[in-house]
Amino acid sequence: MIRPKIPTMPQPTVPVAAPATVVEPTAVTPAKPSTSVPPVPARPTIQLTPGTALALVGGGTAVVLVVGAVLVSMLLAVTVTATSVAVCAVVLRSLLTRR
């Protein structure tokens, strides 16, 4: 029925010669290990003093308390909303069943 047509590549009208490439062998010389001093690290090392350790613990505690307060307040908001919707549903049901 339907057969796909495969395009044929047109032949070049001008003969094209491939450029001649010359590959020259090169000698491989092994690298000599250097006996220099090891490089100094670019960043200084961090030293924890008792004051900075206490500040890190205090900061971490503050972050945990703030995130906990936010999560508890969101949970409380969801609870209050669900309770109010349930109360409205009960009131509407009682009003509709009286008629």
Four-CA torsion 84, 87, 93, 98, nearest 10 degrees? -130
pLDDT on residue 56? 93
pLDDT on residue 30? 78
Task: Quote the radius of gyration of the chain (alpha carbons, Å).
Answer: 40
3 state SS of 4 = coil
> What's the predicted TM-score (pTM) here?
0.46
Amino acid at 74: M
3 state SS of 89 = helix
Low-confidence ranges of the chain (pLDDT < 50): none
- Nearby residues of 56 by Cβ (< 8 Å), 6 or more positions away: 48
pLDDT on residue 6? 77
pLDDT on residue 12? 67
